[in-house]
Structure 1
Amino acid sequence: MIVVNGLRKRFGSQTALDGMTFSVEPGQVTGFVGPNGAGKSTTMRVILGLDAPDAGTALVGGRPYRSLSRPLCHLGSLLDAGALQPGRTARNHLLWLAHSQGLPGRRVDEVLERAGLQGVARRAAGGFSLGMRQRLGIAAALLGDPPALMLDEPFNGMDPEGIIWMRRHLRGLAAEGRAVLVSSHLMSELQDTADHVVIAGRGRVIADTNIAALLESAGAGRVTLRTDAASIDAAAGVLTAAGAVVTRADARTLAITGLAAEAVVSLLTSRGVPFAEISSHRATLEEAYLELTRDAVEFRAMSPSPSPSPSPSPSPSSEVTR
């Protein structure tokens, strides 16, 4: 279990962490998301003892990471897939890590197989693609068979097959009872992988919740109605009279809030108004994330201003002869 409590950290005049607090529970994948500058990387560095907080604590299994005698047996981590000696083979890269923790050589072969790298174990890691380096980083994180894992952007550089493998692998690790923390900007992958999500902004936690509950609340009360053009005005009138807020999306579609889908069906049926389709809106993690972090974005691009129209060049017929 990873427990972060009241972390504060400044770099000069810049506040990186402002009371960051959350926990990563065993048996589930916890997504860690937020805009650039939200404090995600600093939080993970503090957990690993790479940065010292100004206040607060970060504990792995109830202890600071720096106090652990064999840390890879408590927390496996992947912060930078490129952090390796490029001339070493994949197997030798893992061997020196294993030896540093007192782990047997056979454990290296086990994690190479689990990461799907047994066929390239004797190739120099410097020649690996980013996706293969990600797999090697996962193998390194698993060396000590730790009860907790922390991975930063593990989907980066993965091809479709690799993304599917990573998604299944992370869920499998949680199913084994491990606490898994995954930071990523790929919301669609986290939505399909994580059970829980921690959303950070400006150095603090904005939301710490179950993903299913978050999506349900984000999409609550939004209904789409499709009907024929001849019936759309009648449908809008009936629903508005019942207290719904109705917006016409196009000639045959209404967006409705304030009434559940079941109530819309019952109301239109009782009034004899025909319809082709009624569906409740299912929010995505990306939609919920953008709504929650709207005021926490540190860097926001300005909308481009329209370019001024160039002054027309004088035509030969308008030239003045002196």
Structure 2
Amino acid sequence: MTDTTIEVAGLRKRYGPATALDGMTFTAGPGLVTGFVGPNGAGKSTTMRIVLGLHAADAGQALVGRRPYRSLARPLMHLGALLDASALHPARSGRNHLLWLAQSQGLGSRRVGEVMEMVGLGPAARRPAGGYSLGMRQRLGIAAALLGDPPAIMLDEPFNGMDPEGVVWLRGFLRALAAEGRSVLVSSHLMSELQGMADHLVVAGRGRVIADSGVAELIAAASGDRLRVRTGRSAPVTAALAAAGGQVVQEGEDLLVVRGLPADQAVAVLTAAALPFSELAPHRASLEEAYLELTRDAVDYRAAS
């Protein structure tokens, strides 16, 4: 499969006095699902629009397979993208929406039928797209992105409007596309969906990259040296672990989080003191915890607490 790594290098973009991108740099490579996340205003959508040539960067470049997207003769055969699921003519059927896109790329009607079936819209192919639910419009947009059987896929918030069945389907579908060697870049606010799907995560904040790492590595870093201890006798357990040098914080009625003690030492301390516990294990952070820690100082819009 042709190398169609999505490369973003030093992108800068201002809209009047506002800085949208401030040196955004990352790659989304073949065989991986790369999650692209960040708070509102982080520059994710602007970056994707520059990749597609819809906006011009003030500096830097965005390449698909080492070429600007706008230089590609048949771009849908290199990079398939979904930015806005509502960008369709409401009176056209889902099939006709895809047909005019296919014809613009020299593709036949057979491919339209194939991608409609791929995304589960075969039975609704001849219905007006304006009557589709948001989840169905997302599926139609994904079908459009797949028309040219591209080796790279870029989707902006594809889980929006999906019901639970759709979310499960899309997770598996994107994993399968990456397993075929495609580059898959997915912007999402839903960390829970990316945790079970993404291999790599690019975290953006205020127009630049805050973190660019494997998902497992981000979670390990956020987990730190913490232990989870569940016990019905929080007070004496806290005292015993603190006396042994642990830093103990109570996070629930029967849950303690301990720093500064290895698990075997904590077990030995509690066993020697005959203090009961039903759980004692290294704390494993969620992707959401890792994300919130990374973006703590990059959130522009925060509700009053």
Q: How does 1:115-134 map to 2 (within 5 A)?
A: 115-134=119-138
CA distance in 2, matches of 1:237, 1:268: 10
The residue that corresponds to 2:21 in the other structure is 17
- Counterparts of 2:253 and 2:169, CA distance in 1: 43
Q: TM-score, normalised by structure 2?
A: 0.94
Residue 110 (structure 1) aligned with residue 126 (structure 2):
no
3-state secondary structure, aligned to 1:31: strand
2:290 paired with 1:288: yes
- Alpha-carbon separation, structure 2, partners of 1:103 and 1:254: 60
- CA shift for structure 1 position 263: 3.2
2:86 corresponds to 1:82: yes
Q: Could you report, residue by residue, the CA deviation over 1:99-149 in whole angstroms, capped at 9, with x for unpaired residues?
A: 111112211111111011111111111111111110000000000010100
SS at structure 2 position matched to 1:3: strand
CA separation in 2, counterparts of 1:175 and 1:263?
Answer: 42
User: Structure 1 CA distance, aligned partners of 2:114 and 2:278?
Assistant: 55
TM-aligned CA deviation for residue 61 of structure 1: 0.4
Partner of 1:275: 277
- Inter-partner Cα distance in structure 2 for 1:259 and 1:98: 61
Q: Which amino acid aligns with 2:244?
A: A
- The structure that has the greater radius of gyration is 1
CA RMSD after TM alignment? 1.5
SS in 1 for 2:211: strand
Counterpart of 2:30? Answer: 26
The amino acid that maps onto 2:271 is T
TM (norm. structure 1) is: 0.89
From 143, 149, 158, the counterpart of 2:147: 143
Shift of 1:235: 3.0
* 3-state SS, counterpart of residue 196 of structure 2: helix
Q: CA deviation at 1:253?
A: 3.6
Displacement after TM superposition at 1:234 (Å)? 4.2
The answer for the alignment partner of 1:217 in structure 2 is: 221
Distance in 2 of aligned mates of 1:74 and 1:294: 36
Where 1:9 maps in the other structure, the secondary structure is strand
Q: Give the drift of 1:186.
A: 1.0
Question: Which letter maps to 1:123?
Answer: R
Letter in 2 for 1:155: F
Question: Is 1:7 aligned to residue 11 of structure 2?
Answer: yes
Match of residue 207 from structure 2: 203
Instruction: Give the paired residue count.
Output: 301
Partner of 1:39: 43
Q: Confirm whether residue 73 of structure 1 aligns to residue 55 of structure 2.
A: no
Matched, 1:184 2:188: yes
